[in-house]
Amino acid sequence: MNSVYLDNAATTALRPEVIERITNVLQENYGNASSTHSFGRSSKALLEQCRKNIASYFNVSAAEIIFTSGGTEADNLALRSVVRDRGITEIITSRIEHHAVLHTAEQLQTEYGVELKYVDLDDCGLINYTHLEELLQSSKKAVVSLMHINNEVGNILDIEKVAQLCKTHNALFHSDMVQSVGHYKIDLKEIAIDFMAASAHKFHGPKGVGFCFVRKESGLKPLIFGGEQERGYRAGTESIHNIVGMDEALKIAYANLETEKKYVSDLKAYFIQQLKAYIPNVGFNGGCEDEVNSTYTLVNICLPIAPEKAPMLQFQLDLKGIACSKGSACQSGSSQNSHVLTAILDESMLSKPSVRFSFSIFNKKDELDYVVSVLKEFVNS
């Protein structure tokens, strides 16, 4: 049976170089970075070198990089702290954010009474910047939280424009950049953003590690208390091998960014071409077909299938060895659709099965041909 992995927006395979680097650190640098003996100092030196390296990719200072367990913790660190410690009374976000942001914002509304405001979206799920500006004009103590790249439909936010709007109206700006770090160049010296979340396993690094960019003099305080690790922002012994693995993965990603971006972009374009050729009525959710407003790493498609056949789609793909993500919960029998698709699709589209396919440098065109053939067979059966 063929085995095709097209769920890279969920997680990616580790690069061989990353595995090798992690293994070496596990064997040779197992000291606690907070210990003062030679083993601890060796780990501490590695830790701070990784911090400097990672900061350099985003043109910020090492002190502004706080290591976390991943994007979810980084989102929580920023949003919970600004409400608790900076007196933020309004959170401006969208209904298609990752649940790490949406559920955190809802919890903050319950705990602190903050007002949640949702910016309007167009039919493709793109942000209405005019409405965002209107919300900012009527706000006093607000934080804007909008993701750079949507993890389900791939829409790209004009991050510079939002940052400038926030600066103009004295609002803080947080962005979940989990889907863009390692895939796009991001100069945080040029973009007036206050907080950014990233996760290593989205760019061929290990799971369980990420970081939060925290702009200097942000006034944030820790959420996790204990020791003084991570400049006092995040207590707990640092996972040196994972941090080193993240650094290695990011180094390789940015060293090969243009070459790998073109390779993956060509895969996406080829996949769209083949889908249109063999499944004429296929639909593309959000702006994922748009080369300008959508990321090159994924597509989210809606298949012309009768509702009664939809529950079998995910099962059939898995049976054929194809790993992907459902774009709509109708395949699984769940009572709830994807919150992203629910926000942007009408009922007729939601009744059809949607699937997200996401690509990496480890994919090949013959794999895509196989996937299209399986989809065609299912649609026409």
Place of tokens 């043109």: 59
Vertex 142: Cα angle to 140 and 144 (nearest 5)? 145
What is the 3-state secondary structure of the chain? Answer: CCCEECECCCCCCCCHHHHHHHHHHHHHCCCCCCCCCHHHHHHHHHHHHHHHHHHHHCCCCHHHEEEECCHHHHHHHHHHHHHHHHCCCEEEECCCCCHHHHHHHHHHHHHHCCEEEECCECCCCCECHHHHHHHHHCCCCEEEECCCECCCCCEECCHHHHHHHHHHCCCEEEEECCCCECCECCCCCCCCCCEEEEEHHHCCCCCCCEEEEECCCCCCCCCECCCCCHHHCECCCCCHHHHHHHHHHHHHHHHCHHHHHHHHHHHHHHHHHHHHHHCCCCEECCCCCCCCCECCCEEEEECCCCCCCHHHHHHHHHHCCEECEECCHHHCCCCCCCHHHHHHCCHHHHCCCEEEEECCCCCCHHHHHHHHHHHHHHHHC
Residue type at 99 in one-letter notation? H
Active site residue 302: no
Rounded to whole angstroms, the Cα distance separating 198 from 212 reads: 6
Catalytic-labelled residue, pool 166, 212, 302, 330: 330
CA–CA separation, 34 and 139 (whole Å): 43
Active site residues: 330
